[in-house]
Amino acid sequence: MQRWREGLFQLLSGFWYWWSAELRGLLPASWRRRFSVMALVLRIEQPEDPQLVVLDHDEEAYRVALDSVPAPQLRQQLMQMARDAGHTLLQLDARSVLHKMLTLPAVTESRLESVLGFEMDRHTPFRADEVYYGYRVARRDSANQRILVDLYLLPRSRLDRLLQQLQNFGIVPTAVFPIDVITPSAFESQTLNLLPRQQRSSAGQQRQRSLRNRILLSVVLLALLAGFPLYERSQRVASLEAALEQPRSQAQRAQQVRAEIDTLVDGRQFLGRKKAAQVPALIILDELTRQLPDNTWLSRFELNGQVLRIQGESGSASSLIGLLEGSELLMTVDFTSPVTINPRSRRERFSIEARLETGAAAVIPTGPEVEAAP
């Protein structure tokens, strides 16, 4: 079960490093620098006279003798740098690490660590319990079903002494690699680590928490990458809306003013149309004066829209229908009640109703014609 967990962790770690590198490549340079993982790098050089070299951003910051007693100020400075970096990487001089290349069957790759530990005394002068060792698969020969393995090992007593000396400087490495191993991959960083197994196991939970945090960070980065174009578009739309707000309000105000003007004009034209469509009563009276004979007078004149009603007396009421139908302004002329005789005046009483001709307003005589009428 433990081996299965280690394999799963290595697989997920490899996927994380690949995916995070792809995501970082899509970010601006300033953001890539912000999210890059920094490590405090230490080097042990000159095995005969060990020198501790502290690198800060690939530049040498301090160089002191490893067996010296550090000044309190230097110790505090190194501890602060380690806390700020979060990771402390110890690189060992190639002359202090034994390196050997082994050719093994390909089927041993899945359990390579246990195979190397079991056959350590066959390939080196040491037993597995006398050394700390790391490995990586340098090449795979699929045709011959063989793998070429780089094996690095260091006597335990020597590395334990180095770690004890580093503690005097307030430094506890999180990984130990040979100096000639440059930027190992995610899987190799686990198998090449020469740090003692018990320290690695105590840091296992921290690595798992770190993996969870990295996965969470990758999700956040992915959400940012997906949402950033939408955010920029929304900001652009908001700025355009703000720029168009004033012209839009002016256009709306202009439309309101135009609507008010159209309403006023339509009201005025409505009155004009009503007036033009309605024949003035004076014109109708003038027309009746023209058409009715001199022996006829009116006692009642009523004009209701297009309907004209007149009552009066005449010497010959029966002739009035024909006279009124001859007018260009009247049509459908008829008696509304029987003709009767006024006993006192001996004239015929009549009650007539007529309708105005459609378009009668168009045939109204002009002012001079009216004035010229008898």
3-state secondary structure the chain: CHHHHHHHHHHHHHHHHHHHHHHHHHCCHHHHHHHCCCCEEEEEECCCCCEEEEEECCEEEEEEECCCCCCHHHHHHHHHHHHHHCCEEEEECHHHCEEEEEEEEHHHHHHHHHHHHHCHHHHCCCCHHHEEEEEEEEEEECCCCEEEEEEEEEEHHHHHHHHHHHHHCCCCCCEEEECCCCCCCHHHHHHCCCCCHHHHHHCHHHHHHHHHHHHHHHHHHHHHHHHHHHHHHHHHHHHHHHHHHHHHHHHHHHHHHHHHHHHHHHHHHHHHHHHHHCCCHHHHHHHHHHHCCCCEEEEEEEEECCEEEEEEEECCHHHHHHHHHCCCCEEEEEECCCCEECCCCCCEEEEEEEEECCCHHHHCCCHHHHHHCC
For strands 348-356 and 330-335, give the pairing. Answer: antiparallel
Percent of the chain's residues with pLDDT above 90: 10
89-102 tens-digit pLDDT: 888 888 888 999 99
pLDDT (0 to 100) of residue 352: 92
pLDDT (0 to 100) of residue 372: 42
Percent of the chain's residues with pLDDT above 70: 76
Q: Residue 9: what are its φ and ψ, rounded to 5°?
A: -65, -40
pLDDT (0 to 100) of residue 191: 85
How far apart CA 192 and CA 152 sit, in angstroms, is: 8
Q: Which residues, listed in sequence order, are joined to residue 117 by a DSSP beta bridge?
A: none
How far apart CA 49 and CA 333 sit, in angstroms, is: 140
266-282 tens-digit pLDDT: 877 776 676 666 678 88
pLDDT (0 to 100) of residue 240: 82
Q: Which residues, listed in sequence order, are joined to residue 178 by a DSSP beta bridge?
A: 92
How far apart CA 312 and CA 301 sit, in angstroms, is: 9
Mean pLDDT check: name the lowest of 157-161, 274-278, 327-331: 274-278
The architecture of the domain spanning 281-356 is: 2-Layer Sandwich (3.30)
Q: Is the pTM of this model over 0.75?
A: no
Say yes or no to pLDDT of 297 above 80: yes
Mean pLDDT check: name the lowest of 27-36, 106-115, 310-319: 27-36
Question: Quick one: average pLDDT of 153-178?
Answer: 88
Region at 112 (left for phi over 0; alpha for psi -120 to 50; beta for the rest): alpha
The architecture of the domain spanning 37-201 is: 2-Layer Sandwich (3.30)
pLDDT (0 to 100) of residue 105: 92
- The most confident of 184-198, 303-317, 350-364, by mean pLDDT: 303-317
Average pLDDT, the chain: 78
Q: For 318-328, give one letter per residue: b (16+ CB within 10 A) or e.
A: eebeebbeebe
If pLDDT is split at 50, 70 and 90, which confidence band does 75 have?
confident
How far apart CA 96 and CA 118 sit, in angstroms, is: 23
pLDDT (0 to 100) of residue 88: 81
Q: Which residues, listed in sequence order, are joined to residue 356 by a DSSP beta bridge?
A: 330
Question: Quick one: average pLDDT of 218-231?
Answer: 75
What residue ranges of the chain are covered by domains with CATH 3.30.70.2830? 281-356
Cβ contact 179:155 at 8 Å: no
What residue ranges of the chain are covered by domains with CATH 3.30.420.380? 37-201
How far apart CA 93 and CA 52 sit, in angstroms, is: 11
If pLDDT is split at 50, 70 and 90, which confidence band does 32 have?
low
Q: Residue 302: what are its φ and ψ, rounded to 5°?
A: -135, 125
Length of the chain as a residue count: 374
Can you read off the two tokens belonging to residue 220? 């956040």
If pLDDT is split at 50, 70 and 90, which confidence band does 203 have?
very low
Q: Which residues, listed in sequence order, are joined to residue 99 by a DSSP beta bridge?
A: 152
Q: Which residues, listed in sequence order, are joined to residue 60 by a DSSP beta bridge?
A: 55
Say yes or no to pLDDT of 361 above 80: no
- From residue 89, alpha-carbon distances to 25, 43, 171, 227, 327 in Å are 25, 8, 10, 36, 121
pLDDT (0 to 100) of residue 37: 47
If pLDDT is split at 50, 70 and 90, which confidence band does 155 have?
very high
Say yes or no to pLDDT of 329 above 60: yes
If pLDDT is split at 50, 70 and 90, which confidence band does 350 have?
very high
99-110 tens-digit pLDDT: 999 999 999 888
